[in-house]
Amino acid sequence: MEGQGATADPQLQHFIEIESQKQRFQQLVHQMTEVCWEKCMDKPGPKLDSRTEACFVNCVERFIDTSQFILNRLEQTQRSRGGFSESMSD
């Protein structure tokens, strides 16, 4: 085992990648909830009125649209630069 050096177990790398994705997703959900709650919730009650519900739906949809736009833009930027890791080493 000592002879493997810096080579990591592919299953472990995959597990870490999946767990990192889960963590990022949870952070996005938390951030979205916080933003939309502050924007839409005037006075908490036993149920949402139609205006508040519509505000939440719109807020969540805009949050998702914005997040997707940013991700697409970052991917385009990385492709035009030949990849993030390569641009970091310049």
Q: Which residue from 60, 9, 52 is spatially nearest to 36, judged by alpha carbons?
A: 60
CA distance 39 to 55: 8
What confidence score (pLDDT) does residue 6 get?
53
8 A C-beta contact, residue 48 and residue 32: no
> Is pTM, for the whole model, over 0.85?
no
Q: What is the DSSP string of 21-32?
A: HHHHHHHHHHHH
Which of these, 67, 47, 49, lies nearest to 59 by C-alpha position?
Answer: 67
Please report, in tens digits, the pLDDT of each residue of the chain (90 residues total).
Answer: 444 445 678 899 989 989 998 998 899 889 999 999 999 998 888 888 999 999 999 999 999 999 899 989 988 888 887 755 544 444
